[in-house]
């Protein structure tokens, strides 16, 4: 996958995406029994901060937020197992367990002397909550941006439908539509660079197969309870068209303190409102 990534990197249209791509390191995690290395963007200086992207996305999701935080934190931004530009061996099992095992091993590579702050976006919010429960001594606090999957029940997608779903999500028109739907003002904020980033990782071998297998697993859902003991903050976008109001309301019913809503902002606060999010990170996360 590294060879493909190195071939794609110079063609990135977004200069911030190119800058973040230049910060990628390729880590060997042999305990996962995967021969190929895993991509992790590493930049900045300060206490460690782990950034977790959403469903069918990549570390490039944090291209606007990362440079604003790099002066205060050392950022570690992986591609989740089976997503982005991570290796996708045919024999691997794809689903929440594999995602969490990968992050467990990744945390083992970080200095054990410091606990880690975690930012999770969309599905990455549920991943962050799971990680905090699994690693209470390593995770110090969490910031969830438009978190998805805190409520509900896992709904495994049956065979054949899982493959159709992956095929459907791979259609260029569908990708463009989903990309536009994620922004508060797509007419102003979505162009060729955003559409490219939303689809670039689809060129990775095994993308469709891994996505279908993840769908068969049921994915991350109902991850909110029990809430982890660490400090937890939630921020929504007022113009989020991905998460319906009832999903937000159900998630907020789990929280000990009210979530924060910002506008104008869609499903990607770290892109729509990167400067505001950076300021809130510095206010809410310990250093």
Does an H or E element contain 154, and which?
A: none
Query: Rounded to whole angstroms, how far apart are CA atoms 149 and 124?
Result: 9
The confidence band for 158, taking pLDDT boundaries of 50, 70 and 90, is: very high
pLDDT tens, residue by residue, 194-246: 999 999 999 999 999 999 999 999 999 999 999 999 999 999 999 999 998 99
CA atoms within 13 A on the CB side of 79: 26
Average pLDDT score over residue span 256-280: 96
Q: What is the DSSP letter of 240?
A: -
CA–CA dist 167, 243 (Å, integer) = 23
* Section 263-285 average pLDDT: 96
Q: What is the mean pLDDT of residues 24-41?
A: 92
Dist. CA 215–CA 18, nearest whole Å? 30
Query: Could you tell me what percent of the chain has a pLDDT over 90?
Result: 92
How do the domains of the chain map onto residue ranges?
2-284
- Return the residue matching tokens 């200069």: 15
pLDDT of residue 30: 82
From CA 31, how far away is CA 13, in angstroms rounded?
A: 36
Task: Render pLDDT for 56-67 as a digit per residue (tens, 0 to 9).
Answer: 999 999 999 999
What's the pLDDT at 112? 86
Summarised one tens digit per residue, pLDDT across range 86-134 is 999 988 999 999 999 999 999 999 988 899 999 999 999 999 999 999 9
How far apart are alpha carbons 77 and 24 in whole angstroms? 9
The answer to whether residue 287 scores a pLDDT higher than 90 is no
Better-predicted residue by pLDDT, 256 or 232: 232
Cα dihedral 69, 72, 73, 74 sign: positive
Q: What is the pTM of this model?
A: 0.97
At residue 176, the pLDDT reads: 97
Average pLDDT of 11-32? Answer: 95
What are the tokens at 135?
């690693």
Q: Return mean pLDDT, the chain.
A: 96
Q: Which two tokens stand for residue 264?
A: 């104008």
Q: Which residues contact 279 (CB under 8 A, 6 or more apart)?
A: none
The pLDDT value recorded for residue 220 is 96
Please give the pLDDT value at position 286.
79
How confident is the model at residue 154, as a pLDDT?
87
Q: Sorting pLDDT into bands at 50, 70 and 90, what band is 193?
A: very high
Task: Give the C-alpha separation, 124 to 287, whole Å.
Answer: 21
pLDDT at 33: 82
Q: How much of the chain exceeds pLDDT 70, in percent? A: 100
Assess if CATH 3.30.70.580 describes domain 2-284.
Answer: no
Q: How far apart are CA 56 and CA 212, in angstroms?
A: 11
CA distances from 87 to 4, 49, 107, 157, 159 (A): 11, 23, 18, 23, 23
């Amino acid at each position: 996958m590294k060879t493909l990534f190195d071939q794609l990197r110079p063609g990135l249209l977004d200069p911030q995406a190119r800058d973040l791509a230049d910060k990628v390191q390729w880590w060997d995690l042999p305990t996962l029994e995967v021969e190929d290395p895993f991509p992790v963007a590493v930049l900045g200086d300060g206490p460690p901060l782990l950034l977790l992207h959403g469903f069918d996305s990549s570390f490039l999701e944090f291209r606007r937020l990362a440079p604003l935080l790099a002066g205060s934190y050392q950022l570690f931004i992986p591609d989740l197992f089976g997503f982005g530009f991570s290796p996708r061996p045919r024999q691997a099992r794809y689903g929440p367990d594999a995602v969490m095992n990968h992050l467990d091993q990744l945390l083992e590579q970080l200095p054990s002397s410091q606990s880690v702050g975690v930012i999770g976006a969309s599905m990455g919010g549920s991943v962050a909550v799971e990680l905090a429960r699994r690693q209470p001594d390593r995770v110090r606090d969490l910031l969830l941006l438009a978190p998805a999957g805190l409520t509900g029940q896992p709904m495994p997608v049956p065979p054949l439908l899982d493959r159709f779903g992956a095929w459907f999500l791979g259609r260029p028109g569908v990708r463009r539509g989903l990309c536009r739907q994620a922004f508060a003002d797509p007419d102003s904020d979505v162009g060729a660079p955003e559409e490219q980033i939303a689809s670039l990782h689809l060129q990775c071998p095994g993308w469709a197969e891994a996505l279908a297998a993840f769908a068969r697993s049921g994915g991350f859902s109902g991850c909110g309870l029990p809430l982890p003991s660490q400090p937890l903050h939630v921020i929504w976008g007022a113009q989020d068209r991905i998460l319906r109001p009832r999903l937000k309301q159900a998630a907020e019913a789990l929280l000990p303190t009210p979530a924060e809503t910002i506008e104008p902002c869609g499903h990607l606060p770290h892109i729509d409102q990167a400067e505001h999010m950076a300021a809130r990170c510095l206010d809410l996360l310990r250093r």
